[in-house]
Amino acid sequence: MANLTPREILDRVRDLAQRSGAAEAEAYLEIVNFTEARVRQGEVEFLSQSAVQGLGVRVFVDRKVGFSYTTDLRPNVMDELVRRTIALAGQNAPRDENRLPDEQLPALPDLEIYDAAVAAMRPADLIALARKTEDQAFAADKRIQATRHAHAGVAVGEVHFTNTFAPYQTYRTTTCSLGVTAIATDGTVKREGGFDDRRRIFLDLNTPERIGRRAAERAAARLGGATIATTNAPVIFEADAAASFLAGLLPALNATNVIEQRSFLAGKPNRQVASPLVTIVDDGLLRRGLGTHPFDGEGVQHRRTVVIERGVLVKFLHTATTARRMNVRMTGNAVRSYDTLPAVGPTNFYLQAGASTLDKMVSETPRGLLVTELAGFGIDTVSGEYSQQVAGRWIEKGVLGASVEGVTVAGRLDEMLLGIDAVGKDLEYRSAIASPSIRFRQLTIAGS
Amino acid sequence: MSIDEPISRRVFLHRGALASAAALAAAVIPGVPWIPGSGDADAAIMGIGQELRDVLNFETCNRILTEALARGGTFADLFAEQRFTTKIALDDGKIESVTYGYPRGAGVRVDRRQQTGYAFSDEVSFNALLDAARVASAIVENQSPVTPIDLTRRDVAPAFMLSSPAPLMNETTKFDFVRRLDAAARAVDPRIVSVRVEYTDDVRDILIATSDGSYYLDRQYLVNISCTPIAVEGAERRSGFGSLGGRVDEPYFSRRSPEDVAREAAEQALVLLQAGPAPAGAMPVVIGPGWGGVLIHEALGHALEGDGIRRGTSVLTGKLGTQIGSPLLRVVDDARVPFGRGSYSIDDEGTLGQRTVLVDRGILQSYLLDRQSASILGGKSTGNGRRASYRNRPLPRMSNTFIDRGASDPTSLLSGIKKGFYAAMLGGGTVETTSGNFNFAVREGYWIEDGKITRPARGAVLIGNSLETLRRLEGVGNDLYIEPARGTCGKDGQMIPVGVGQPTVRFSAITVGGTAI
């Protein structure tokens, strides 16, 4: 704890694990200082400021995996947990591939994931930003008479890492976020619309003006929404909805799920699984990216991995263990926190920008649906089925018409991906998973 | 050290007070956590929240609360927590990993009417929490100090008693359960190509000290085992799901056999291999008992939570005493359901868990309140102030929420439906409380044709609007079941265990999000 440095804590538990029977050991310490402010109707409604500190220790005993985590960094607590984990791991099944990666990390250019301006922000700065954002939402449209809240936050993180093969390493990150959920009313009903932004670098953040205005526009656009008759039609997903859909596809590209037969994309490598307009990339080295780090959760260098290239499935996302099990190269996609085992996950995961624009897609659509919001669950990446609640605008003769809600869109993922017939230019990295707007040739829209 | 006697059961420890107990075991190390194992002797020695109490006694708590209210405020509390979790993950026939978790910390909350300040520390020490109190109090500006009332230890009336809590089973038994589920699921059919089993348990000690003078200690046990088999035939691939657990005793597992759960999950995956497209559009829908209660959790429960009511953002604001649903509708939130996953003796801000009738004969009777929403709306907390951990402030949340028993024979609810949809098992759902628009996924569904359940249907979501849908309830079965094993509710980033339940229910129209027009 306070009298040990992070490096001393890590070296100590790693050495103890190795002395206590672990052939290999890995220690990961995460410290995050964060501040969050929420403002509603101009009043500070919530203010929180704290530090998270947690340690995770992974051990390999005869090719069996044990893991423990704690927020209690008293040395004897850590020691006891590690000893017990080693004893418990003995009951597992061995697997030859259960070993630490032993890759050497090359020197990296500055990834620009730390901004001193973010680290220097104080509660008063955040309150001012949130107030301004909420004010802008109110100013944008007189039908906005309330918000759920406007929020502003910063997080300043440190990761400290070591394992049996890798010397101690560390990196720092910053994250700042700003957003508002506006509530529009026409006197009888209320509808929400939100707009959020998260960035590593303060100057990358959208302005309170744009965030407030976009949230207000979204909320107001939903007023008067009604269901429509059940039909088949082309469906456009606006960028944020497309990003949410893309996030839902991730489990199908996770090598662990592929190995365990729980992905509809298992057995499809090198096949055309999507339209040639679709290229999907995971890039852990994207400068200023929210998913960018110098190395992943088990010390493997992040890299840029093309997952789907012009519609062809090229590569799944891997940890060191899954890469060994499938006999392919690692992709540096072990994602974790101190309290989870490294597991396959995305870094910066995005669908590459295309040539179209949202306006063009709408004007090309004689009759269809523009989806601006997705709600709830919908993607089954095992069976490859899709069905989800959506809201948006009806398109008639290439023109946006009435607000639509109370409908679902559904289809089979294989047909949907192959049927993407337009990809927009509007890719924006407001979260670690991002997409431009896309259009599906045809989905089933269920309503009345 | 044999496999039957893992070390974790023998070693317990804590600092200070029990120096004489140290003589019992050479391995005792001061400051090392008590780790659950079989036999509750360790627990008896330790006492609930002992390690937290050593630091957070009446005097230190009082000083922390005094600091929290030094700039004013209407209420403050200190919440400390120490958990021990065990996870065992099996995949592809092998136990892949085991995890021990030991999160521990405390948080201070300061309320002033609609405002809340919160700060926590992962280190449980007087100085760290005094700092947290100072930070949390920053929400209040330029008010007069408020003096907290001197603390008194209050009893926690147990919601139910456990004689042999499942998380204290020895680890060999836990490993056995995991292997038994895997073997039973695989044995059903060669088309079951893969099975994932996850065992998770949790022993949670909490300490709550409030500025209105109460000091509470409680221990909560929770266990869950889930089983996800995959069936493959040709190009079709389907998953099944089954789970067991709750706040249960070891004998629960002889009443609810792991093998039965695994078989049911495998059979579900096999049935779904034969599924055709689900219908699309609005139609009569019948939802099976138990986990089907996800509907009422989404369609009603969230909109009744006091934070949305006090802010006026919920669609049910101001509807108390009015008809919001069919006269057949009676809904209860009950934190004292025996063994329920959403049960607790005391909530996370020091109010005893209770049974609250939310809706009776379709008329709204009560909101779900925490202290803050109760103080603003008038009235008392309904014991629904819950938090995911010491890192979070409490929010009004559900416990076990269910549609109460009705009069109909469940099979009679199908009669007269020419074309409709039967949801045998649901997945998860969400709701937007401002509009009342909700959705929930169906994991196992069937067509209803001419009053009979016929073909299985592929996955689909069902959607509706709270106020419209609750009026369309037209049949309630007599087969109430409250699902004790599964249910994790997320709100504002906080995930907490909840229970849901219902008898078989029928709605005249819900939109089914399939593809068959």
What is the dihedral angle through the alpha carbons of B417, B421, B422, B428, rounded to the nearest 10 degrees?
Answer: -150
Tell me, what's the pLDDT at B500?
97
The model's confidence at residue B142, banded by pLDDT at 50, 70 and 90, is: confident
Which residues in chain B are contacts of A84 at CB distance < 8 A?
Answer: 7-8, 11, 35, 100
In angstroms, what separates the C-alpha of B250 from chain A's closest C-alpha?
Answer: 21
**Amino acid at position B373, single letter:** S
Tell me, what's the pLDDT at A1?
45
Tell me, what's the pLDDT at B34?
54
In angstroms, what separates the C-alpha of B338 from chain A's closest C-alpha?
Answer: 30
Which residues in chain A are contacts of B120 at CB distance < 8 A?
Answer: 50
- Asked if B437's CB is within 8 angstroms of A389's CB, the reply is yes
Instruction: Indicate the residue of A67, A376, A405 with minimum beta-carbon distance to B99.
Output: A67
Average pLDDT of span A338-356:
98
Residues 221-260 in A contacting B (C-alpha not used; CB under 8 Å): 227, 230-232, 256, 259-260
Tell me, what's the pLDDT at B35?
53
The C-alpha atoms of residue A407 and residue A374 are separated, in whole angstroms, by: 11
Count of alpha carbons within 13 Å of A197, Cβ hemisphere only?
22
Q: Pick from A300, A307, A296: which is nearest to A335 by CA?
A: A296
Q: Are B208 and B350 in contact (CB under 8 A)?
A: yes
In angstroms, what separates the C-alpha of B467 from chain A's closest C-alpha?
Answer: 12
In angstroms, what separates the C-alpha of A248 from chain B's closest C-alpha?
Answer: 14
The model's confidence at residue B163, banded by pLDDT at 50, 70 and 90, is: confident
The model's confidence at residue B326, banded by pLDDT at 50, 70 and 90, is: very high
The C-alpha atoms of residue A222 and residue A402 are separated, in whole angstroms, by: 9
Q: Are A153 and A199 in contact (CB under 8 A)?
A: no
Using CB atoms within 10 Å of the CB of residue B20, give its burial: 0 to 12 exposed, 13 to 18 middle, 19+ buried. exposed
- Asked if A383's CB is within 8 angstroms of B237's CB, the reply is yes
Write out pLDDT tens, residues B340-355: 999 999 999 999 999 9
Residue B25 in this model has a pLDDT that exceeds 80: no
The C-alpha atoms of residue B83 and residue B497 are separated, in whole angstroms, by: 15
Tell me, what's the pLDDT at B148?
95
Write out pLDDT tens, residues B65-97: 999 999 999 999 999 999 999 999 999 899 999
- Minimal-distance CA residue of chain B relative to A1: B123
Using CB atoms within 10 Å of the CB of residue B91, give its burial: 0 to 12 exposed, 13 to 18 middle, 19+ buried. buried
Instruction: Indicate the residue of A47, A53, A389 with minimum beta-carbon distance to B138.
Output: A47
B445 touches chain A (CB under 8 A): no
Which residues in chain B are contacts of A376 at CB distance < 8 A?
Answer: 428-430, 438-441, 461
A50 touches chain B (CB under 8 A): yes
- Asked if A123's CB is within 8 angstroms of B237's CB, the reply is no
- Asked if B103's CB is within 8 angstroms of A54's CB, the reply is yes
In angstroms, what separates the C-alpha of B409 from chain A's closest C-alpha?
Answer: 29
For an interface test with B, the pick among A45, A72, A196, A415 (most B C-beta atoms closer than 10 Å) comes out as A72
- Asked if A260's CB is within 8 angstroms of B196's CB, the reply is yes
- Minimal-distance CA residue of chain A relative to B308: A148
**Residue A241: how many other CB atoms lie within 10 Å:** 23
The C-alpha atoms of residue B393 and residue B492 are separated, in whole angstroms, by: 11
Write out pLDDT tens, residues A261-293: 999 999 999 999 999 999 999 999 999 999 999
Which neighbouring-strand residues pair with A434?
A350
Average pLDDT of span B223-227:
97
Please count the residue pairs, one from chain A and one from chain B, whose beta carbons lie less than 8 angstroms apart: 285
Which two tokens mark A389?
Answer: 């609640």
| Strand B94-102 with B452-457, pairing | unpaired
- Asked if A407's CB is within 8 angstroms of B100's CB, the reply is no
A5 touches chain B (CB under 8 A): no
- Asked if A85's CB is within 8 angstroms of B97's CB, the reply is no
Which residues in chain B are contacts of A81 at CB distance < 8 A?
Answer: 33, 100, 102
Tell me, what's the pLDDT at A76?
85
In angstroms, what separates the C-alpha of B341 from chain A's closest C-alpha?
Answer: 22
* Three-state DSSP state, A217: helix
Average pLDDT of span A309-332:
97
Q: Pick from A219, A255, A258: which is nearest to A372 by CA?
A: A219
Instruction: Indicate the residue of A43, A83, A91 with minimum beta-carbon distance to B175.
Output: A91
Task: Say how many residues make up chain A.
Answer: 448
Which neighbouring-strand residues pair with B421?
B285, B447
What share of chain B in percent tops pLDDT 90?
86
Which residues in chain A are contacts of B445 at CB distance < 8 A?
Answer: none
Q: Pick from A68, A60, A67: which is nearest to A94 by CA?
A: A60
Q: How far is CA A365 from CA A236, A278, B324, in A?
A: 9, 20, 40
A67 touches chain B (CB under 8 A): yes
In angstroms, what separates the C-alpha of A16 from chain B's closest C-alpha?
Answer: 16
Average pLDDT of span B447-470:
95
Q: How far is CA B74 from CA A432, B118, B309, in A?
A: 40, 14, 20
- Asked if A73's CB is within 8 angstroms of B123's CB, the reply is yes
Q: Pick from A200, A182, A225: which is nearest to A39 by CA?
A: A182
A76 touches chain B (CB under 8 A): yes
Residues 86-115 in A contacting B (C-alpha not used; CB under 8 Å): 87-89, 91-93, 95
Residues 458-497 in B contacting A (C-alpha not used; CB under 8 Å): 458-461, 463-465
Q: Pick from B370, B426, B421: which is nearest to B398 by CA?
A: B370
Comparing B43 with A211, the larger pLDDT belongs to A211
Average pLDDT of span B56-70:
97
Residues 191-230 in B contacting A (C-alpha not used; CB under 8 Å): 193-194, 196, 228, 230
* Three-state DSSP state, B389: coil
State chain B's mean pLDDT as an integer.
90
Residues 327-386 in B contacting A (C-alpha not used; CB under 8 Å): none
- Minimal-distance CA residue of chain B relative to A342: B97
The model's confidence at residue B26, banded by pLDDT at 50, 70 and 90, is: very low
Which residues in chain A are contacts of B393 at CB distance < 8 A?
Answer: 46, 48
Across A99-108, A397-406, B237-246, B493-502, least confident range: A99-108
A84 touches chain B (CB under 8 A): yes
| Strand B395-396 with B385-386, pairing | antiparallel
Residue B27 in this model has a pLDDT that exceeds 70: no
Using CB atoms within 10 Å of the CB of residue A294, give its burial: 0 to 12 exposed, 13 to 18 middle, 19+ buried. buried
Write out pLDDT tens, residues B256-310: 999 999 999 999 999 999 999 999 999 999 999 999 999 999 999 999 999 999 9
In angstroms, what separates the C-alpha of B257 from chain A's closest C-alpha?
Answer: 23
Q: What is the ipTM of this complex?
A: 0.95
Residues 6 or more apart in contact with residue A190 via CB below 8 angstroms:
A146, A183, A184, B313, B315, B434, B435
In angstroms, what separates the C-alpha of A378 from chain B's closest C-alpha?
Answer: 7
- Asked if A81's CB is within 8 angstroms of B102's CB, the reply is yes
A326 touches chain B (CB under 8 A): no
Q: How far is CA B128 from CA B55, B103, B108, B119, B131, in A?
A: 11, 16, 11, 10, 5
State chain A's mean pLDDT as an integer.
96
Tell me, what's the pLDDT at B366?
98
* Three-state DSSP state, A74: coil
Please report which helix (H) or strand (E) contains residue A10, including its range.
Answer: helix A6-19
In angstroms, the first-to-last Cα distance of chain B is 64
- Asked if A74's CB is within 8 angstroms of B104's CB, the reply is no
Supply the pTM of this predicted model: 0.93
Residue A3 in this model has a pLDDT that exceeds 80: no
Q: Pick from A52, A414, A92: which is nearest to B107 by CA?
A: A52
What are the backbone angles phi and psi of residue A124, rounded to the nearest 5°?
A: -60, -35
In angstroms, what separates the C-alpha of A401 from chain B's closest C-alpha?
Answer: 21
Which neighbouring-strand residues pair with A367?
A396
In angstroms, what separates the C-alpha of B194 from chain A's closest C-alpha?
Answer: 6
Which two tokens mark A224?
Answer: 């008067």
Write out pLDDT tens, residues A165-195: 988 999 999 999 999 999 999 998 999 999 9
